Structure 1
Amino acid sequence: MKSDDGASGATPGLGPHSRGRRSFLAAAGSAVAGLVGVAGCLGSSDRVRVLAAGSLAVVLEEHVGPAFEAAQDVSYGGEYHGSNAVMRLLEEGTKHPDVVVSADAQLLRDRLYPQQADWDVTFAANEVGIAYAPETDLGARLDSDEPWYEAFADADAGDVAISDPDLDPLGYRAVHLFELVERAEGLEEFRDAMLERVALVPDEPQLLTGVESGTRACAVTYRNMALDHDLPFRSLPDAYNFANPEYASQYAEATYTTDEGRTIEGRPAVYNATVATDADAPEYGREFVSFLLERPALLEEHGLRVGGSLPRLHGAAPEAIEP
């Protein structure tokens, strides 16, 4: 895995896609339509309904969900959106899941406490970097030792994709990334220049579709998503990859204000989960969250970081939730 601090090279993907994975990713269209149809009819008492960050769509739908069903004899129903969109759906009363999973731990606390949640558990972390198509001109530059920001500075409009920062933490982390590297490398107006030329992808699970097909050069993404799509991944230094808690104060120097007027500071990319206070099946929700904590290998195998200070409880978690 390549790092601008001279660490290592690009991380290859996990090998050829399985037919199931290709079918799942292809079906993950607007609002992950193929999955919404399933989740929308989840009302039986032997099913847990999970509304989760889009960056976890593959690992939850193809790995954690089936493993949970096999272990607990409880059906799994998942629906996936950018975490900002997840919070809006809950605040508006559009969705009533049992379990909520966010790609930004503080976002869930700011938006759902105390009405819709009063505890959560952080269970995994991620790393922001760049997935790229090596056969493109820009991708070839990212595949070399050239600083990535120099390649980005020469990118044509639409060559670089980011998810929508008003809908998704990955999107505002891309904006934070541009701001942090502008300061670190003395790049005048790099953030604003990049925001004028990037392609905004509103549906997070679709972020890498163009890169995978070779019609787009690259995207700012999470490491696990690049692995899901078997794409090379350009790793970034800890100073702006949002993976190292020791850099939390530096991450916080970058900000983004959403279309709702919320100003969000940069912070480590940490996932958390809770059982909604109005869940229809809270017992199955607690079982699912406990299962997440008990199976860290399922997450680690698919590009997420576990261990260290994780998992960690916040608030008055029920006794059934034991990290």
Structure 2
Amino acid sequence: MGRDERVGRRAVLAAAAGGVAGMAGCGAVSGEDAVSVLAAGSLQNALENGLPDRVDAAVRVEAHGSARAARLVADGAKDPDIVSVADAALFDGPLRPGWHAEFATNAVVLAYDPDSEGGRRIAEAGTEAWYRPLLSGAASLGRTDPDLDPLGYRTLFALELATDHYGTDADLRGAVPERDQVYPETQLLSQFETGGIDAAFTYRSMAVDRGYEFVALPAAVDLSDPALADRYAAATYELPGGKTVRGAPIRYASTLRRESSAATDAFEAHVAGGYLADFGFGVPENYPRYTGDVPDAV
């Protein structure tokens, strides 16, 4: 496949991503049986293209960064049937449901554009030295806002953990991030697809689902291994509301806020997770795992 063909494919995918993002919050689906889901941006594709075939009711998905989604519900700006976030810690503030289900896992990876000079430098550096082109400015980076999105603060955690793992002289968390690298989660994909940036920190599920080339980070860095929970916890970030989140194995969580028959069925199909593996998520054998006062109907 030539460069022009690849660029054309990126443009098509970017347009599709933009169209999906626009549809997610437009409320095009209506009716008493429509189930509304407010979800992490990284879940959007799976929810819109994997979940509807498993439920009878129409599903209306609105996607945001998880921290923002949790605050929208906590502040009363949104009133969805189901809330699904990319970090279970967000259900201990700003949103505090009486119960939730952990239903999927993930890992942070560094996706790169193989057609750009910066992307090729990252590919050549590989798992042991991917950070060097970012430090030197040889590759342009995109990431999400840590104030709005768990992927944003997990990117900072990964950089901090990488400093310790590789024993670098530079503090990667302090040296790599710059404000002009930050994009909303849905726009980050468009920037990457159209060649606006050479590389982006993203979830493995997003990279696999969209066919991105990526560098897999070591388990000590990618926040995927429950056995390394204590190590991950050394990294922290303070959200705008004052809540401090700690590094932890990535855990997606969901709660049902309205126990209608349609919403309950959709929730159960959502957290059952069979379709999620097709979209690059990890689904451990003991998931979904429930915490709190779970309703009898679930």
* Same fold (TM > 0.5): yes
Give the aligned partner of residue 262 of structure 2: 284
- Measured after TM superposition, the shift of residue 238 of structure 1 is 0.6
Between the two proteins, what is the percent identity of the paired residues? Answer: 34
SS across alignment from 2:124:
coil
Give the aligned partner of residue 53 of structure 2: 67
Give the aligned partner of residue 311 of structure 1: 288
Give the aligned partner of residue 4 of structure 2: none
Deviations 1:164-218 (A, max 9, x none): 00000000000111111112223222211112366001x2122122221122101
Q: Distance in 2 between matches of 1:22 and 1:298?
A: 23
- Measured after TM superposition, the shift of residue 227 of structure 1 is 2.5
Name stretches of at least 5 consecutive residues in structure 1 with no aligned partner.
1-15
Taking a change above 3 Å as real, the CA distance of residues 46 and 174 of structure 1, as seen in their structure-2 partners, is same
SS across alignment from 1:143:
helix
Give the aligned partner of residue 155 of structure 2: 174
Following superposition of structure 1 onto structure 2, how do residues 137-148 of structure 1 map, counting pairs within 5 Å? Answer: 137-146=117-126, 147-148=129-130
- Measured after TM superposition, the shift of residue 22 of structure 1 is 5.8
Taking a change above 3 Å as real, the CA distance of residues 189 and 272 of structure 1, as seen in their structure-2 partners, is same
Q: Is the 8 A contact 1:126 1:270 kept in 2?
A: yes
Give the aligned partner of residue 3 of structure 2: none
Give the aligned partner of residue 160 of structure 1: 141
Q: Is 2:99 the partner of 1:103?
A: no
One-letter amino acid matched to 2:122: L
Q: Is the 8 A contact 2:14 2:193 kept in 1?
A: no
- Measured after TM superposition, the shift of residue 266 of structure 1 is 0.5
What is the aligned length?
Answer: 286
Name stretches of at least 5 consecutive residues in structure 2 with no aligned partner.
1-8
Deviations 1:43-91 (A, max 9, x none): x321111000001111111221x213xxx42111110000011011111
- Measured after TM superposition, the shift of residue 111 of structure 1 is 2.4
Q: Is the 8 A contact 2:226 2:249 kept in 1?
A: yes
One-letter amino acid matched to 1:292: H
Q: Distance in 2 between matches of 1:110 and 1:207?
A: 26
**Paired residue for 1:25, among 10, 17, 22?**
17
Taking a change above 3 Å as real, the CA distance of residues 306 and 282 of structure 1, as seen in their structure-2 partners, is same
Q: Is 2:79 the partner of 1:79?
A: no
Q: Distance in 2 between matches of 1:229 and 1:210?
A: 14
**Paired residue for 2:177, among 178, 192, 195?**
195
SS across alignment from 1:84:
helix
Q: Is the 8 A contact 1:208 1:229 kept in 2?
A: no
Give the aligned partner of residue 71 of structure 2: 88
Q: Distance in 1 between matches of 2:179 and 2:166?
A: 20
**Paired residue for 2:222, among 211, 234, 241?**
241
One-letter amino acid matched to 2:292: G
One-letter amino acid matched to 1:199: Q
One-letter amino acid matched to 2:53: A
Q: Distance in 1 between matches of 2:123 and 2:267?
A: 38
**Paired residue for 1:300, among 256, 267, 277?**
277
Give the aligned partner of residue 4 of structure 1: none
One-letter amino acid matched to 1:27: G
Taking a change above 3 Å as real, the CA distance of residues 195 and 22 of structure 1, as seen in their structure-2 partners, is closer
Q: Is the 8 A contact 1:57 1:205 kept in 2?
A: no
Deviations 1:103-125 (A, max 9, x none): 00111233222xxx211111110
Give the aligned partner of residue 9 of structure 1: none
Taking a change above 3 Å as real, the CA distance of residues 150 and 23 of structure 1, as seen in their structure-2 partners, is closer
Give the aligned partner of residue 212 of structure 1: 193
